[in-house]
């Protein structure tokens, strides 16, 4: 009994008296919500941190003033990321907490110079989640992304992640970038943020995510795909599950006009063949559609007309997709679609030879596209009103 009491006393005292607690109260943390990396003229890194100000957000939900931002931007310049993180810490009265950072923004100028060296810190250390979203911010003034005051989220860093989820080009995380870089041939892509809003009302409140930034194997940003091309690229990569396709119908009895089809269950199959060193890629794109808008005078209750729409859509889509692929092949020469991986999988023995000058072979590949859009439903009426 006495022994037990002594034992308990010793355990209790070591816990209470030594003070070696790992405990940090939640209000002793500075929550780092988003990062912006920029490259300065001299080659130095500028890191800006979006730090939460909890009291401005308030648990009761009523933000004191809509115009007042719930965060503060702290910047520092240094040679490495860790170096600058330290400098940011010395500007804050609370301990930096990085576990909840959901997005990293990269300035366009930095992206063009290559980002592998900057991402090293994030992949080397465990405290950055692989689910962290990475964006390229287009334009001369990327710092505006952090000061942006979204009416929907106190942090533009979180708003960007959510918007990336709902935007048509889907969510892209650090993990996807790493996976692409780890393959021998695939080039990575990232979502690009456009800060140029259409109206004054949107100024400083919203941004647009609809374009893809293309990177080469050296992780340098080489170009941008426009909205339509981005969707096509993602479809080929089998990452797009639903979208809207619009085509112009001019044939038939009716007057010409546009038709928009909502596609879902979208998928792609890449078949490759190698003959005498010439690589041929056949891309088969499929989807099931519902006609959502019909601006022509076609009566869709007639099966023939639906078939017509389907055929025209397939043809037009095929053309534009081929164009997209050709542009990527010729202009950028980056294999963002994973054609190299497909050849690797389907011709593992030939691959050893082929991969040696894949970069040269990629633009010369023959790519044929086949589109199958099955229109299943025409909506609630046949002819337009």
Partner 1 sequence: MLLKEGTQRISLQLERNESVLRQTFSHCSDIVFRHLDWTDGTKALVVYADGLTNTNELEKMVIKPLLERNPASDQPLQEVLKRQLVPVADSKQVEWLEDAVQSILYGNPAVFSDQEASALIVGLSDFPSRSIEEPVIEASIRGPREGFTEVLRTNTSMLRRKINSHLLKLDSIELGKLTRTRVVLAYLEGHVDADVLRLVRERMGRIDSKAIIDSNFIEEQIEDKPFSLFPQVQNTERPDTVAASLLEGKVAILVDGSPNALIVPMTFWSGFQAAEDHYERFLYVSAVRFIRILLFAMSLLLPSFYVALTTFHPQMIPANLLISIAASREGIPFPTVIEMLILELMFEGLREAGLRMPRAVGSAVSIVGALVIGEAAVQAGFISAPIVIIVASTGIASFAVPRYSLSLPFRMLRFPLLGLSGSLGFYGIAIGTIFILGHLCMLESFGVPYLSPASTIGDKGMGDTFYRKPKPNRS
Q: Which of 7, 58, 250, 379 binds partner 1 (CB under 8 A)?
A: 58
136 neighbors 192 (Cβ within 8 angstroms): yes
CA distance 286 to 365: 22
User: Which are the contacts of 384, defined by CB distance < 8 A and separation ≥ 6?
Assistant: 294, 295, 296, 297
Q: Would you say the C-alpha torsion 373, 378, 383, 385 has a positive or negative sign?
A: negative
Candidate ranges 24-32, 195-203, 275-283, 376-384; the one touching partner 1 (CB under 8 A): 24-32
Smaller CB separation from partner 1, 150 or 296: 150
Give yes or no for residue 15 binding partner 1 (CB under 8 A).
yes
Smaller CB separation from partner 1, 31 or 235: 31
Sheet holding 366-377, edge to edge: 243-249, 257-275, 278-294, 366-377
State both tokens at 25: 């109260």
What minimum distance in Å lies between the beta carbon of 60 and partner 1?
9
What minimum distance in Å lies between the beta carbon of 208 and partner 1?
24
Sequence-ordered alpha helix ranges (H) in the chain: 2-17, 54-57, 81-89, 108-112, 116-124, 144-147, 156-166, 174-182, 227-236, 303-327, 339-346, 348-354, 358-361
Task: Work out the number of other CB atoms within 10 angstroms of the CB of residue 372.
Answer: 14
Q: Which of 158, 206, 268, 310 binds partner 1 (CB under 8 A)?
A: 158
Give yes or no for residue 59 binding partner 1 (CB under 8 A).
yes
Give yes or no for residue 255 binding partner 1 (CB under 8 A).
no
Q: Name which of residues 91 to 120 contact partner 1 (CB under 8 A).
A: 97, 99-100, 102
Candidate ranges 26-34, 181-189, 343-351, 353-361; the one touching partner 1 (CB under 8 A): 26-34
Give yes or no for residue 2 binding partner 1 (CB under 8 A).
no
Q: Total binding residues for partner 1 by CB under 8 A?
A: 24
Q: Which of 31, 105, 122, 362 binds partner 1 (CB under 8 A)?
A: 31
Q: Which of 5, 16, 17, 65 binds partner 1 (CB under 8 A)?
A: 16
Task: Work out the number of other CB atoms within 10 angstroms of the CB of residue 384.
Answer: 14
State both tokens at 123: 């992949």
State both tokens at 37: 């990396």
Which backbone phi and psi does 32 adopt, to 5 degrees?
Answer: -90, 110
Give yes or no for residue 10 binding partner 1 (CB under 8 A).
no
Give yes or no for residue 125 binding partner 1 (CB under 8 A).
no
Give yes or no for residue 162 binding partner 1 (CB under 8 A).
no
Smaller CB separation from partner 1, 99 or 304: 99
CA distance 62 to 365: 58
Q: Which helix (H) or strand (E) holds 220?
A: none
Give yes or no for residue 349 binding partner 1 (CB under 8 A).
no
Rg, Å, the chain Cα set? 26
Q: Which of 2, 3, 25, 276 binds partner 1 (CB under 8 A)?
A: 25
Smaller CB separation from partner 1, 24 or 265: 24
CA distance 354 to 375: 39
What minimum distance in Å lies between the beta carbon of 1 and partner 1?
10
Give yes or no for residue 224 binding partner 1 (CB under 8 A).
no
267 DSSP β-pair partners: 286
Strands 366-377, 103-107: pairing kind: unpaired
Q: Which of 2, 23, 200, 275 binds partner 1 (CB under 8 A)?
A: 23
Q: Which of 13, 24, 202, 277 binds partner 1 (CB under 8 A)?
A: 24
Q: Which of 5, 17, 26, 385 binds partner 1 (CB under 8 A)?
A: 26
What minimum distance in Å lies between the beta carbon of 153 and partner 1?
9
Interface residues toward partner 1, by CB under 8 A: 15-16, 21-27, 29, 31, 33, 52, 54-55, 57-59, 97, 99-100, 102, 154, 158
């Amino acid at each position: 009994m006495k022994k037990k009491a002594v034992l308990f006393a010793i355990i209790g005292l070591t816990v209470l008296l030594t003070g070696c607690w790992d405990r940090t109260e939640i209000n002793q943390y500075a929550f780092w919500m988003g990062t912006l990396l920029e490259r300065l003229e001299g080659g130095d890194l500028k890191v800006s941190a979006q730090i939460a100000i909890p009291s401005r957000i308030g648990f009761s939900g009523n933000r004191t003033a809509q115009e007042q931002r719930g965060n503060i931007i702290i910047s520092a310049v240094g040679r490495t990321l860790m170096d600058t993180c330290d400098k940011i810490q010395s500007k804050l009265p609370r301990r930096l907490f990085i576990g909840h950072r959901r997005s990293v923004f990269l300035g366009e100028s930095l992206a063009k110079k290559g980002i592998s060296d900057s991402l090293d810190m994030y992949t080397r250390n465990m405290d950055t989640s692989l689910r962290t979203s990475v964006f390229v911010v287009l334009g001369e003034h990327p710092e505006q992304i952090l000061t942006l005051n979204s009416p929907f989220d106190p942090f533009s860093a979180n708003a960007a992640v959510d918007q990336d989820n709902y935007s048509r080009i889907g969510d892209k995380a650090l993990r996807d970038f790493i996976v692409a870089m780890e393959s021998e041939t695939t080039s990575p892509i990232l979502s690009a943020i456009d800060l140029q809003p259409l109206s004054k009302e949107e100024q400083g409140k919203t941004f647009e995510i609809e374009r893809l930034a293309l990177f080469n194997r050296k992780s340098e940003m080489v170009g941008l795909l426009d909205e339509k091309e981005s969707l096509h690229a993602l479809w080929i990569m089998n990452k797009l599950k639903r979208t809207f396709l619009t085509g112009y119908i001019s044939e038939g009895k009716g007057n010409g006009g546009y038709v928009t089809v909502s596609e879902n269950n979208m998928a792609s199959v890449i078949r490759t063949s190698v003959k005498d060193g010439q690589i041929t890629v056949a891309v088969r794109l499929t989807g099931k559609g519902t006609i959502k808008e019909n601006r022509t005078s076609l009566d869709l209750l007639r099966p023939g007309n639906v078939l017509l729409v389907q055929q025209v859509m397939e043809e037009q889509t095929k053309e534009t997709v081929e164009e997209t692929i050709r542009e990527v092949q010729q202009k950028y020469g980056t294999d963002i679609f994973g054609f190299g991986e497909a050849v690797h999988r389907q011709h593992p023995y030939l691959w050893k030879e082929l991969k040696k000058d894949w970069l040269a072979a990629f633009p010369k590949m023959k790519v044929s596209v086949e589109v199958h859009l099955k229109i299943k439903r025409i909506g609630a009426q046949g002819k337009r009103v």
